[in-house]
Chain A
Amino acid sequence: MLFLNRIDLCVSGDFDIASTTKALCISRVGIPFDGKPQEDVIYRLGRAPSNAFNYPYLVVSENLSEPADILTIRDFSKVKKELKKKLKKGTGLEITINPARKMDSVSVGRWFSTLTELYKFCHWSHFQFIISSGATSTYEMISGHCLDAILKTVGIEPQKYWCNLTKWLEQRLVRNVSYAEEAT
C-alpha cells in the first residue's frame, strides 16, 4: 500500500491531537501554541516570534497586509484581486473544510468550485494550496482517506498534492528555524 505523508495544518481543541491524527492516517499536524510543547506537531503562531522559538512553527494570518507563511482564506472571491499584488510568492493559501459542514447544498457546491478555482490560482501564481480540516474537536477531525477523496473530487491528484505540500513545509520550517537562530 502506498504511504502518503498527509498533513493537516489547522487543528485545535483540548484533546490528544498527536495520537488522534496518527490514528486517522495523518502524519503531521498544525496546532496553535498554548505554552505546552508537544512532539510531532507544527505550531501556528499569529506573528513571528521575537525571541528564539525552539519548535517548528508557521506564521498564520487572515490579514493580507501582514507577513505570514500561511494566509487563511475565508472568501476567495473577495480577496482574489489583492492576493497577487500583496502576497509574496510561495505563501500558503489555506482553506478549511469545517465551515462547509454547516452549509446547504448550493453553498457546498459553490465551496467545491472555489476550491478548484483556488487550486488553479495557486498553481499559476506560485502560491501553495493548503486544505485543512479546521477541526476544533476530535469528531471534527477528517481522516486521511476522506481528505484524499475531497482532493480527487476537486480534480487534484492526492499523491502529487501531499508531495508538494511536504516539500513546501520543509522549506518553510527550515527558514523559520534559521530565523529564530538569527534573532537570538
Chain B
Amino acid sequence: MLKRRPKRRYLSIVQADISSDPVAAIKKRFSELFGTIATEKAALRLIEHRENEFIIRCSTEQLENVLVAIALTDPPVITIDMSGTLKQLRSRRQYSYWKVNQSL
C-alpha cells in the first residue's frame, strides 16, 4: 500500500490573552470533547506567532472537530482564516481586516 502524507490545514487564530498558550488550550478542549485518540489524529502544531496572532496546523480529517474546539476554548480564540498552504495563508493575512486593525 502506498504511504501518503496526511493532508493538513493551516489556521490563523487570534487570542485575547497573549500570556497563555492557545494551542495547549485548544488541545485540552479537543481532548475533553473528542478524546485522546482524536487529539493525536488532529496533529495540532503551532507553526508561528506574532503578538496575539497564531498560525496552527491540523489534519484535514479532524478539521471540523478542531474548529468546534476553537469555538469552545477559554480564553476565547477566533479563527480568522484557514488555508491548505502556509504560503497562501500568509499572503491573505497581509491584506486581512485583522492585520489592518492590529490594535484589536
Q: Which residues of A contact B (CB under 8 A)?
A: 15-16, 19-20, 22-24, 97, 100-102, 104-105, 108-109, 137-143, 145-150, 152-153
Contact = CB atoms under 8 A, between A and B. Distances in A.
15 contacts: A19-B97, A23-B80, A23-B96, A97-B71, A108-B32, A108-B33, A108-B72, A137-B16, A139-B75, A139-B77, A143-B80, A149-B67, A149-B71, A150-B68, A153-B64
B104 A15 contact: yes
A143 B32 contact: no
Nearest to A135: B76
Contacts of B98: 23
Contact of A105 (B32, B64, B70, B77): B32
Given A20-B97, A101-B73, A101-B76, A149 B64 contact: yes
Given A22-B97, A137-B16, 10 more contacts: A97-B71, A109-B33, A138-B16, A139-B76, A142-B71, A146-B67, A149-B64, A149-B67, A149-B68, A153-B65
A12 B64 CA distance: 26
A101 B97 contact: no
Given A146-B70, A153-B65, A140 B96 contact: no
Interface residues of B, number: 27
Given A23-B98, A153-B65, A145 B76 contact: no
A20 to B, nearest CB: 7
B82 to A, nearest CB: 7
